[in-house]
Structures are given as C-alpha cells and as structure tokens.
Structure 1
Amino acid sequence: MSEPPAQTAVETTGLRKSYGSMTVLDGIDLHVTRGSVYALLGPNGAGKTTTVRILSTLTPPDGGTARVAGLDVVAQRRRVRRAISLTGQYAAVDELQTGEENLRMMGRLRRLSRAQARRRAAELLERFDLTEAAGRRVGTYSGGMRRRLDLAAGLVTEPAVLFLDEPTTGLDPRSRRAMWDVVTDLTAGGVTVFLTTQYLEEADRLADRIALMDAGRIVAEGTAAELKNRVAEQRLDLVATGPSAFDALAAALGPRVAHRDPARLTVGVASDGTAAHVRALLDELDPAGTDVERFAVHDTTLDDVFLALTGRTATSTPGPDGGPTDPNHPDEQDAASTGAGKEATVV
C-alpha cells in the first residue's frame, strides 16, 4: 500500500476479521481526513468495536491493510500507539485515586517529568471543568465527570488521532452534550476524532462524515445531509386508526416503509413533502379514508437512512444474521475496549 496523502489520518483497504467461522469485518474501506470527526454508526454487533481495536493496534486484522497517522497498524504498531489515544465505552480510571492523581499518573506513564505531569494535569482539569473536584476520589464522581476525566487522561500527551468508542454510553442528556462540546473543541485544535456510536443524534451533530455499518460491512458513507438525501429529503408519517389499519398500511407500503412504530400505530414513508405527493400517497394507501387518522411530514433522519439501507434501525438488536451475539465476542463486550483502551495510551 502506498503512503497516504498528508491530509489522511486513517485509511483502511479490504480490512477483514473473523472469529472462528463468524466473519466480523468483511472488507472494510475507510478514508478519514485529518482534523475531522468521522463517525462509524451501527447496531450492536455490527463490527464497530472490532474496527477500533484493529486501528488502535489491540487486535490484528486477518486481511487487508490499515494505516493510522500515516503508519501501518501491524508493521509500525509501537509508533501508532505513540500517535493515538483510545477511550472506550466506560471510564477506565482508578476510583481510589483523586482526579488529579489519575492525570498525574498518566503523565508519568507517558514519560513526562513530575513537573510536566503536574502542569499538564492542572491544564486538563481546567479544560474539562474538573478543577473543583481535582482533590476528590474518583469514586465520588458522577458518570459524566468520570467520562470527562477518562477523556482527559487520553489527552495527557496530545494525540494525532483520538478513538472514541461509544463515549457517551450511559450518560444523561446534559453530560452527553458536554462531551459533544469537548469533541468539537478537540477537532478545532487539529485532533482527528474517530467516533463509534449508536446514537443517531450524536453522529448527526458531530460528524463531518458518517459511515453506516451493518454485519461487518460499510453499507453507506457520506455527510449526514448526503445520506439523508440518498433516501429522501422528508418523511410522511401516517398514524393509523387502529392495529388492523396499521398492519394494512405497513403491508401496502412493503419495502417502502421508512419508519415503523407499532406502539404509536405510526408508519412512515419517504416523500418529497409536496402537497401533490402527500395527496397521492394518501389516495394510494387509504382510498376509503378509513385507515389514516392523521399524518405529518418530517425531515428525514439518520434512522430512516439506516432502516432504508439495512432493513432495521441503528439501535435495534442484531438478529441471527446481523452480527455477533456471543457475549464473549469483542463487539459484545463493553468492557473489552475499555480496559484495553488505556493500553493504547501507554507505550
């Protein structure tokens, strides 16, 4: 593989990984521009965590090539580790130490002098709004504070590429938005962020480009706007008059269903939003005027895109053909990428 251009932070070609007879990655091609946020979006078992583990040198690929910060993840493993940081799905910090002690320890592990580690810890505590809690044991921190401290620990030395594997899992909406602000600030400073997430709003809000992943393959890639326009600019939601009417509408739409919510008796279909198209759909689906109680037109969401391209929502549980369900599989172990994640920040 030839050297990637200087503006490329992550590049993979034909990346493959299997566990026994189960194929987890089936020829993944990625290209991430330096200084951008790239989101890998998909359901549990899609292969997101395995991809991150390979790119962060924690798991070797079975085939294909991958380069991070211009370095081969297999042949130049140690150099890759010096150029990256990885934060897993849950905070991997020492709860018996204070926030400041955690950051100073990480600084020393990264070969900073005691004075440098102390100064860097103070800078990061202020940057992540943790100064007042610096002297408290981490065991007393809230979930959002632990996540911010975990991210700060990964930035003790500034990485070229920061891997965030579902960084806002379990956070309340306010803490999630605070993490989003941190990610935005990091990219403004030139750091490349490679983000995996199940949260559609998170990818929509943060990512410069998004790859939709399902069953070990990339099914679509582009900006959020490009992906939405690929399906439709808008969606017509029809609220049925009852369960039988809901079933009839869903059956009439067939593969055109872009949204399905049985609990709310709502089924959605792609539309251009014009009165003529809405009228035509209503005439087609409910000519007698007995099945549709009301309707509304909405902007297309990433969930609509994922459902249209994969047949299921991005937050659904994978079925027998939808990826690994073995609890010992790396993509089913939340903690697997967490405990090993700190390994990638220490050489």
Structure 2
Amino acid sequence: MQLGVETNTRIYYVSGHVELREEVREVPSQRALITGATGLLGRAVYKEFHANGWHTLGCAFRRARPNHLALDICNPSAVRRLLQEFKVHPHVVVHCAAERRADVVENNPQSSYNLNVTASATLAHETAEVGGFMIYISTNYVFDGKNPPYGPNSQPHPLNAYGRSKLDGEKAVLRDLPGAAILRLPLLYGEVTELEESGVTVIFDRIQHANKSASLDDWQRRQPTHTQDVAFVLRQMAEHWMQDKSFGGIYHWASCDIMTKYEIGCAMADAFNLPSSHLRAVIEEPTGNVQRPRNATLDFSALEVLGIGKHTPLRIGLRKALWPFLDDRRWRQMVFH
C-alpha cells in the first residue's frame, strides 16, 4: 500500500527546558470522506475504511462525535470548504447521509428533498471540482415492486416521495459527476445504538415478549442486509475505482435472503432459541399514507462479476446485532462467532 507522510510539531519538557520536536509518521495515501458517519450505515462504512488503510474523515450533523467533523451538507459553502481542505482533497466520497424514513419524507417533502437531492448535487459538484469519486447511497424503493428482481438497468418507478427523492438524487449526482457510482440498497440492519434504528431490529422486543401476541407484516418481501457487508462492498468499489478510473454507474447490493417481516421475526426467535408461537402473520397490504413496493428484490450480480461482494448469514448477523438487547442475561455473556 502506498503511504504518504505527515509532520507534526510537538512540545516536550526536558530537564527544565522546552523542546520542539518534529515527528513524522506514515499515513495512508488513500483518502475517504464519509457523510452521515454516525448513522446506521455510516458507522459501519467509517470503521471499514479506517480499519483497512484509508485516511478516513467522517462527518455528521446533529450526532457528530469527537472523532468526526460537524458538517451541514445542506450548506454549499461548508461542503466546498471541506472538500477543498481535506488533506489535499479526498479521493473517494461515500455519501451515506440522507433522510431514509419514508414516513418523514412523505410528511416533510421539501426538507427531505433538500437533503436527498440538493445537498447530494452540491456534494457531487464539489467532488468533481477536486477530481474525486463519489458513491451515492440509494434504495430499492426507486422500483414499484411489481416485476422483480430488479437489475441496475431496470426501469425505476417509485411509489412514494422517499423513492422519488432518492431517484432524483441519483439523477442529480450523475448530472454533476457523470463518473460517480450509485449503490442501491434494500432494508438494512447491523450494529444499532437502539432497536428503533433499523426496520429489522425494531421488532426484536416483540419477539422476546412471548406473553403478548405480535402481528407482523407477511405481505412485503425484503432483503435484510447487514451494514458490515455493505461497508465491505463500498470499500471494494472505492478500491476498484482507484485501480480503474472508468468504474462507475449504477449498482445493486443486497442479501441473498428474501423474507417478510414475519419471516424475519421467526428467524430472530430461532437464532436465540425463543418461542415464536405468539407471532401472527398479516397477509394484507399495510394501510397508511405511504405506499410501499411489495417485492423490490435487487439483482446484485453485476458487482459479483467484478469480484465484489460479501454476505453474512442472517442467523449470524441477527445474533451479532441483537445480543446486547436480550432480556435473558445468560445470552449477554456469550460471544458469537
């Protein structure tokens, strides 16, 4: 791996006097900027790049942490300054920041559009200005779910405001940075700070409390995909671009598992040897003000052809993500491999 050097001046107190010493350390020459680095996906992406030889800067807005930069990506001037100043420009920008809650987008379309579309276009433009590569995270909700599986060249037809905003974001990014990559993803789960952070983990308390009947959707087909797998794929995509600057365009990644929430709930129960007899399958289409695709299964073979990909078995992924939230303390003392 190619390395650069970074020089820091430190102050040392030696035998009653002060010395200034220059310290030189090797730093990775590959530079990545991760937006939304404190979110469900962003955390995994930051860890994956940082642990594998990339000089990585994470940025976030409301949940910025000491190791990350506070950045409002809806502020074009702030985005421009960051990309111009980041260690002689980032090579790769992985754009995880988004409003991904379909209900929120439906109820707040303008603010969601500003984040999912306008800010993404700004980021793409500024990435182009510094000669970088951008990967824009999109969704399988750009499809209507009527004719799966969907490949990268399938015709999008979003059913709700969230899907439309992400599709418009794709178009804006490719307009301002034609060499960018789009990665469409399905339902995600992984290391969560709270169960409500993922549409998969949110049902876990209902699985554990077997004394109460729990009704779960058995209508919509999902591909529950682990964030560590996605992070691994994103790093592989970035490294592929570092070797081949013609790499870009629209790609998909997803789990091999195609399941309803009811089936995911049964899998959770099985993973922890919990009862599932209290779970009830709801086969009717969910009601509400947000229409969702019934089966927007993604075909991810285009990345596999390039040797890119990773799949964590669902049982292992669920155990890894959920064991800290188990009511049964005996499980908390176990380590899953």
User: Which structure carries more strand by proportion?
Assistant: 1
TM-score, structure 2 length as denominator? 0.30
Higher RCO (Cα < 8 Å, 6 or more apart): 1
TM-score, structure 1 length as denominator? 0.30
